Amino acid sequence: MTEENTKKEKPTFRVLNFPDYDVMDVVLLCHAALAQDSPELPTHYLNQILNIMFAYLSSEQRQEVEVYLAEKSYLPPLKLHLPN
């Protein structure tokens, strides 16, 4: 297989406008997640951001997310080292 055949095509995201209130919520939640004195763990705020942004995905993009998670594409490639 050539390198071109093994590369996956990245999904195209075409959201033209986000409501101002969602943009502001996401920014504030990011700051809350990074603040040292936040009452919740960062994952709490990340889940809220995910819930807000997931609503803007098309059904095809949601399927792409499912594949991304199922294939664990977020993990770095495995590097095998042969023993000497």
User: What is the rounded CA–CA span in Å between residue 61 and residue 35?
Assistant: 31
- Helix, strand, coil % over all residues of the chain, rounded to 5: 50, 0, 50
The torsion region of residue 72 among left (phi > 0), alpha (psi -120 to 50) and beta comes to: left
Whether the predicted model's global pTM rises above the 0.85 cut: no
How much of the chain exceeds pLDDT 90, in percent? 63
Grouping H, G, I as helix, E, B as strand and the rest as coil, residue 40 is: coil
The full set of domain ranges for the chain reads 16-70
Residue that has been written with the tokens 């960062």 in this structure = 42
Backbone angles phi, psi at 20, to 5 degrees: -55, -40
Average per-residue pLDDT in the chain? 86
- For residue 50, give both structure tokens: 């995910």
Q: Tens digits of per-residue pLDDT, 17-37? A: 888 999 999 999 999 999 999
